[in-house]
Amino acid sequence: MTARPQTLTAVAARQAADRPDHPAILCEGRVSTYGHLHRESSRTAHALRAAGLGPAARVAYLGKESEHFYEIALACAKTGTVLVPVNWRLTRDEIAHVLRDSDTELLFVERERLAAAGQLEKLLPRLRQVVPLDSDEDRRSGFLDWKAGRPAHEPGLETGPDDAVVQAYTSGTTGPPKGVVLAHRSFFNVDDAIHRLGCDWLDWRPDDRGLIGMPGFHIGGLSYAMQGFIAGVTMVSTPMFNSQDVLRLIGELGITYGLVTPAMLQMLLAEAGATPAAFRPLRKMVYGGAPISGSLLRQCLETMGCEFAQIYGSSETGNLATCLPPGDHVPGSPRLEAAGRAYPGIELKIVDERGAALPPGEVGEVWVRSPARMLGYHGQPQATRETMPDGWVRMGDAGRLDTDGYLFLSDRLNDLIIAGGENVYPTEIENALAEHPAVADAAVVGAPDERWGEAVHAYVVQRTGQHATARELMLFLKGRIAAFKIPTAYEFVAELPRNPNGKVLRRALRDRLWQGRERKVN
């Protein structure tokens, strides 16, 4: 049996040799075959080297999804440089932090964001070059010309499974976002274990067409796309998720597989053309970012008629940790409340405050040990040690294991809010609110929301003699923080609950909104 590749570089070469004419990426009517993807990523790799970028240099991508994103990702793999995918929904200051913290040396950016990128150049001492993204239809001395004429063969640099290849940004509950550095092995180790054991939780068939519903700047979307490339199947990329477009593409392109959030499933089902016939090509949908409600699952099973699987993990674990497999997606089953079982090769444990393992049924902190775990946080060794004691990843969630090894989440130990699959961190929003002249104090928590899983809810204390309405605060935040972080509800209170040390008790505020619910994650 031929050995399975262990680096993204080797995957690109293998698929180009085995399936050169098979479509690798379909995007807005354009087709990139595996042969084309290999050649063009090699041209991009040579252009990166010509720009003076050596191994470990950071290469940022600021833009929506396209075949060029994956081309650049593979080029980074071939040169030993590290891809830094940037959430295009962030504000200028948020983007500046990511680029500065990552020591970005070259930035690929959409033309519509080119002016903003130009304003950032003076804040980025390591930045060598900004390359505008373009297309065959709109070719104006951008990315396509930048790499044109470069050799189509691999640059020949050796890369190994433990070499860094991606730096994805996540955030903590305090302080600015941190860069999670992932090696090539993060995209292979769990997949190899699944393959060895013949596990069909997340299986691929040769003629599958997989929808990349989550964006590439999320580890979920990037990891899913790479799993598809490893399997040699066709991946369908869209600039951003639009339920009307996706519903049309399922039929037109024969999409068989997809990675989405429950909120995306709900949007698909709300479309006028959402009939069983429209979803006929689908055989499996994988979702993450939040559990699925019983009522939504029933709708999905009745209308989509395919299998469903839930994934749970984090950037720090390399994306995957547990899976609730298709067999457990039965309406009314108590296991629908679970995040699933550990993937092959991954260990779970629940620990108390001292780090001692707890028996099944007892609630504690969720720890995960995965061969795909991150190398660490970029430039933050102390934070890395705190998050990865003895090779385990602390998930920041409270939960319990049952006797069959199913993980049930009960609450978050940190204050992270997950709204529609997007990670939202309260401190950043509270700091922005505090800049309003009428705001004396503020606390932000997640409220239950049937559509998005959680909604951002702000408790606001107004200054004496000052007054601001919810609408005024919402407009004030627009442009200061990303739109998906802006609270959807504002509750004006006389004071915020605090502990003896003066720290705001966010948990007490959150509990008010979750009263009567057994689970405090939605």
List the CATH number of the domain containing 509: 3.30.300.30
Q: Is residue 149 situated within a structural domain?
A: yes
Task: Indicate the residue among 387, 412, 437 that finishes a domain.
Answer: 412
Provide the pLDDT for residue 135: 66
Residue 261's nearest CA partner among 222, 289, 284, 296 is 289
- Type of residue at 185: R
Rounded Cα distance between 437 and 287, Å, is: 41
Picking from 205-214, 299-308, 347-356, 427-436, which range would have the lowest pLDDT averaged per residue?
Answer: 427-436
pLDDT band per the 50, 70, 90 thresholds, residue 171: low
Counted domains in the chain: 3
Task: Indicate the residue among 365, 392, 412 that finishes a domain.
Answer: 412
Q: Is residue 87 situated within a structural domain?
A: yes
Q: What does the pLDDT average to over 222-235?
A: 96
Q: Is residue 140 situated within a structural domain?
A: yes
Q: Establish how many alpha carbons lie within 13 A of residue 241's alpha carbon, considering only the half-sphere containing its beta carbon.
A: 21
Q: Is residue 350 situated within a structural domain?
A: yes
What value does the mean pLDDT of the chain take?
91
- Interval 185-213: pLDDT, tens: 999 988 888 878 778 888 999 999 999 99
Q: How far apart are the two ends of the chain, measured CA to CA in Å?
A: 45
Helix 219-231 to helix 67-79 angle (10° resolution) is 80
Q: Is the pLDDT of residue 426 over 70?
A: yes
Residue 172's nearest CA partner among 480, 461, 423 is 423
Q: Is the pLDDT of residue 141 over 80?
A: no
Q: What does the pLDDT average to over 251-255?
A: 98
Q: Is residue 505 situated within a structural domain?
A: yes
Q: What does the pLDDT average to over 508-516?
A: 88
Collect all residues with Cβ–Cβ distance below 8 Å to 467 and sequence separation of at least 6. 438
Residue 188's nearest CA partner among 218, 216, 166 is 166
Q: Do residues 369 and 398 both lie within one domain?
A: yes
- DSSP letter, residue 174: S
Give pTM, 2 decimals.
Answer: 0.85
Task: Indicate the residue among 377, 397, 412 that finishes a domain.
Answer: 412
**What does R_g of the chain's alpha carbons equal in angstroms?**
23
Rounded Cα distance between 454 and 412, Å, is: 13
Query: How long is the chain?
Result: 522
Q: Is residue 324 situated within a structural domain?
A: no
pLDDT band per the 50, 70, 90 thresholds, residue 136: low
Here the tokens at position 268 are: 């698909």
Q: What does the pLDDT average to over 348-353?
A: 94
Collect all residues with Cβ–Cβ distance below 8 Å to 204 and sequence separation of at least 6. 210, 227, 228, 231, 233, 257
pLDDT band per the 50, 70, 90 thresholds, residue 174: very low
- Interval 37-95: pLDDT, tens: 999 999 999 999 999 999 999 999 999 999 999 999 999 999 999 999 999 988 888 89
Here the tokens at position 406 are: 């199913």
Q: Do residues 3 and 95 both lie within one domain?
A: yes
Q: Is residue 278 situated within a structural domain?
A: no
Provide the pLDDT for residue 172: 44
Beta bridge partners of 104: 58
Q: Is the pLDDT of residue 499 over 70?
A: no
Picking from 372-376, 471-475, 495-499, which range would have the lowest pLDDT averaged per residue?
Answer: 495-499
Cα–Cα separations (whole angstroms), residue 388 to 212, 370, 381: 29, 11, 10
Domain that holds residue 467: 417-513
Q: Do residues 21 and 77 both lie within one domain?
A: yes
Residue 204's nearest CA partner among 261, 256, 278, 265 is 256
